[in-house]
C-alpha cells in the first residue's frame, strides 16, 4: 500500500487536503495510506509527498530551513513523486519578492513575484481569488494529464506566482488582468500547482487521483 505523506509546515487547512486525497483514491478504486506529518523521518519514509500551504513565504521558508526541508530535497533527489499545492509550488523556487532574504528549496531556478493589479479599465483585484480556466502549454503528462484534452476551471487564492528561469517547466497558465500566471509546473518526479485541487471539485479530484495512481 503506497504511503502518501501530507507535509505539515504549520500552514493551511491540511485536513481538507487529506480528505481530498483519500476521496480521489477511493474514486479510482485505489488503496493508499495518507499520513499528515511535519517530521523529517516520515517525509523520507514516504512513497509520495504532498506539500500544501497557504500564507507567507517567509514562514514557509523558516519551516523548510531545517530537517524537513532537507528531507524534501532528498525525496526529490531520490525520484519520489512530489506534489506541491499553492505555497508548496512557490517553495520549490529560490526566493520570493514577498520575503527578501528568505530561501526556498531551490529545486527550480527562479523567483516568486507579486501579481500586478494593473491600472485603468484593465485593473484587477489582488489577491487573485476564484475560478479560472487553465491554459495548457504543450502536452501535460503524469498527474497533469488527468484532464485529457479539456482544460478545466480550477480554484485560486494567491497574491504571488512563480517566474521560472526555465520556461519549459511551465505546463499550465491562467490569465488575470495583465498577469500570465504560472498555474502548474512539472519536471521529472516533481509536479506543483498554484491552484487548490482540494477546492476545485471534480477537476481537483482527478488531479489528486492521477497523482496517487502514477
Domains of the chain: 3-213 (3.40.50.880)
The tens digit of pLDDT for each residue in 91-120 reads 999 999 999 999 999 999 999 999 999 999
pTM of the model: 0.95
| Residues across the chain | 214
List 158, 161, 176, 196, catalytic entry: 196
133: confidence class by pLDDT, cuts 50, 70, 90 = very high
176 is an active site residue: no
Whether 196 is a known active-site residue: answer: yes
| Active-site annotation holder among 32, 60, 86, 158 | 86
**Phi and psi of 72, rounded to 5°?**
-65, -40
- Measured CA to CA, the distance from residue 158 to residue 192 in angstroms comes to 15
Q: Catalytic site residue 86? A: yes
Summarize pLDDT for 181-200 with one digit per residue, the tens. 999 999 999 999 999 999 99
What pLDDT band is residue 139 in, cutting at 50, 70 and 90? low
Place 137 in a pLDDT band, splitting at 50, 70 and 90. Answer: confident
- Report the SS3 class of residue 125: coil
Give the model confidence (pLDDT) of 16-35 as tens digits: 999 999 999 999 999 999 99
| Cα radius of gyration (the chain) | 16
Amino acid at each position: 500500500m503506497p504511503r502518501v505523506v501530507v507535509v505539515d509546515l504549520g500552514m493551511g487547512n491540511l485536513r481538507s487536503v487529506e480528505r481530498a486525497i483519500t476521496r480521489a483514491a477511493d474514486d479510482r478504486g485505489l488503496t493508499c495510506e495518507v499520513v499528515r506529518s511535519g517530521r523529517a523521518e516520515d517525509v523520507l519514509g514516504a512513497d509520495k509527498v504532498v506539500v500544501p500551504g497557504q500564507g507567507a513565504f517567509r514562514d514557509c521558508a523558516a519551516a523548510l530551513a531545517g530537517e524537513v526541508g532537507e528531507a524534501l530535497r532528498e525525496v526529490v533527489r531520490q525520484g519520489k513523486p512530489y506534489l506541491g499545492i499553492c505555497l508548496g509550488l512557490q517553495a520549490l523556487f529560490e526566493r520570493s519578492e514577498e520575503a527578501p532574504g528568505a530561501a526556498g528549496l531551490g529545486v527550480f531556478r527562479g523567483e516568486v513575484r507579486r501579481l500586478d493589479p494593473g491600472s485603468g479599465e484593465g485593473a484587477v483585484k489582488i489577491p487573485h481569488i476564484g475560478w479560472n480556466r487553465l491554459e495548457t502549454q504543450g502536452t501535460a503528462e503524469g498527474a497533469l494529464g488527468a484532464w485529457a484534452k479539456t482544460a478545466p476551471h480550477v480554484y485560486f487564492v494567491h497574491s504571488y506566482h512563480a517566474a521560472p528561469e526555465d520556461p519549459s517547466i511551465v505546463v499550465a497558465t491562467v490569465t488575470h488582468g495583465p498577469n500570465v500566471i504560472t498555474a502548474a509546473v512539472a519536471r521529472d518526479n516533481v509536479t506543483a500547482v498554484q491552484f487548490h485541487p482540494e477546492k476545485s471539485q471534480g477537476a481537483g479530484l482527478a488531479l489528486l487521483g492521477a497523482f496517487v495512481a502514477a
